[in-house]
Amino acid sequence: MRNLLRAAVLTGAGLFAVLGAGSASAAESPAGQPNGADLTAIGTLVSGKDTADRLAGTVFPNGTRVSAEAAARTAKADPARPVAVYEPSAAFVTGNSAVPAELAYVAVPARTGDGATATVQAQRDGRDWSVFNVASGDVEQRLAAETGKGYLLHEPQVNAWYAVEGDTVRVLDGSVTGTAKGATMSVENFRSALRERYGDKLPGSAYDREGAGGGYGPAAASATARPDEPRDLLLSVLLGGGALVLVAAGIYAVRLRRQ
């Protein structure tokens, strides 16, 4: 019953939080936006025993080991505050889509067994949803609050975050030279910047054919939660649905800075 109540709260109060006001028209909306049924499924998932056990057993670097009983009392996710996180798609970079992004995952704020701030990251698994990672911190929550009427976009290769609203892309937190916080650019200029960074790494390129960056396709989920690791290596080998690549060591180093 508790899970059902949490799911209901997620569907109602969380629907606005995760979707935001969106873009000016449906045609400009990013692909894969979670709907009410998705949010209900995510709420049930993150409120369930498997997720609670995973949170209870997660200890980030510099964390504190506590008793199993104490961890079980503290560990929990808050399904009422989901955040949809999008990433640039290959179709956008190549000019085959006017929409800058597609859904990467839904971030749900949580606490680990020792009370540390955490984020449960859920992604589509066929028609269902699954938890693929527990990350430290609450960067998605913090930055989503700055998106205004837009949506949150993450460029994982350089760990840059943006708010996309209509034809404007605004930097929320960037590690790319020349993209200081608050800087804005048009969607077309953003496409040009991505093409310059990743245009030679798209499907069919020599980079693709050589399998650089460790190959393609998501790896199997890890058996235990590891703080701030690449999402089952997906972030280290893919951008969007199967296109833009970074050597795993680079993205791992970026993710480790998230404490």
* pLDDT tens sequence across 183-234: 999 999 999 999 998 876 655 544 444 444 432 223 333 323 323 433 333 3
Host domain of residue 182: 2-256
pLDDT at 237 over 60: no
Distance CA 129, CA 167 (A): 31
Percentage of residues in the chain with pLDDT exceeding 70?
65
pLDDT at 21 over 90: no
Mean pLDDT of the chain: 75
Distance CA 92, CA 159 (A): 19
Contact between 158 and 257 under an 8 Å Cβ cutoff? The reply is no
Using 50, 70 and 90 to split pLDDT, how confident is the model at 174? confident
- Element spanning 110, H or E: strand 101-111
The number of distinct structural domains making up the chain is: 1
Using 50, 70 and 90 to split pLDDT, how confident is the model at 29? confident
Distance CA 234, CA 120 (A): 16
pTM of the predicted model as reported, rounded to 2 decimal places:
0.73
Using 50, 70 and 90 to split pLDDT, how confident is the model at 175? confident
35-64 confidence digits (pLDDT tens): 999 999 999 999 999 999 999 999 999 999
β-bridge mates for residue 157, sequence order? none
- The pLDDT value given to residue 199: 74
Q: Assign residue 166 a region: left if phi > 0, alpha if psi is -120 to 50, beta otherwise?
A: left
- Element spanning 11, H or E: helix 2-19
196 CB burial (10 A radius; 0-12, 13-18, 19+) = exposed
Q: Assign residue 213 a region: left if phi > 0, alpha if psi is -120 to 50, beta otherwise?
A: left
Most confidently modeled of 4-18, 102-116, 165-179?
Answer: 102-116
